[in-house]
Amino acid sequence: MLKAEARSTALQIVRPAAALLLVGLTACNTTSTGTTPPAAAAPGPRVAAAPPVAPGGGQLEMVGRWVLASPNAGFCNMTFSGKPGSVEGAIAPEGGCPGKFFTSRKWVFEQSGLVIRDHKGEPLAQLSAAAPTRLEGQATSGEQVSLTR
């Protein structure tokens, strides 16, 4: 009988405490007007495309070392990393890159071609395959750029 009384007393204490906890948690998830704040919209996914077919056939493989060049602005070496055959990866630029390409950090094949993005995710250039070991395109600043092996 003593155990039953103890259980009853414990439930009398626990139930109100649990109710207060729920009320407190609900209050943390509301605004000062008493409404639940809207969930933040997740950014839409970027649509990656398959690596383009290089002129002459075969998929263009980005993983490895490339030379980025811009007429009258210079050139630099860049290492593109990722799994072989992947559609996106990281970029490690070496010193002396023209324009803002020293901030290059990511590459991705999108429907429009290869996009090089900076450390903030902003596009720096868009290129397309011109040969099995060459891509050509334009930087967002307007200058012509190329990647060659």
Q: Quick check: is 59 in a domain? A: no
Would you say the pTM of this structure is higher than 0.95? no
* One domain for residues 24 and 69: no
- How many other CB atoms are found less than 10 A from the CB of residue 117? 19
Tell me the pLDDT tens digit for each residue of 112-123.
899 999 999 999
* One domain for residues 83 and 121: yes
* One domain for residues 77 and 112: yes
One pLDDT digit (tens) per residue for the chain, 149 residues: 555 565 555 545 545 554 444 444 444 444 444 544 444 444 444 445 556 666 656 678 899 999 999 998 899 999 999 998 889 999 999 988 999 999 999 999 998 899 999 999 999 999 999 988 999 999 999 999 999 99
Specify the DSSP element, H or E, that contains 16: helix 2-28
Q: Quick check: is 80 in a domain? A: yes
Q: Quick check: is 26 in a domain? A: yes
For a pLDDT cut of 90, what percent of the chain falls above it?
A: 50
* One domain for residues 31 and 73: no
* One domain for residues 69 and 135: yes
Q: Quick check: is 17 in a domain? A: yes
CATH code at 106?
2.40.128.10
Cβ–Cβ under 8 Å, residues 82 and 112:
no
CA–CA separation, 131 and 35 (whole Å): 58
Q: Quick check: is 43 in a domain? A: no
Tell me the pLDDT tens digit for each residue of 6-35.
555 554 554 555 444 444 444 444 444 454
Q: Terminus-to-terminus CA distance in the chain, angstroms?
A: 86
User: Whole domain around residue 11: which residue ranges?
Assistant: 1-38
Provide CB contacts within 8 A for 125, sequence distance 6+. 101, 115, 116, 137, 138, 139, 140, 145
As for how many domains the chain has, the answer is 2
* One domain for residues 28 and 85: no
Q: Quick check: is 47 in a domain? A: no
Provide CB contacts within 8 A for 97, sequence distance 6+. 68, 74, 76, 78, 104
Q: Quick check: is 110 in a domain? A: yes
Q: Quick check: is 141 in a domain? A: yes
* One domain for residues 30 and 92: no
CA–CA separation, 58 and 66 (whole Å): 18
Buried b (16+ CB within 10 A) or exposed e, 79-98: ebebeeebbbbebebeeebb
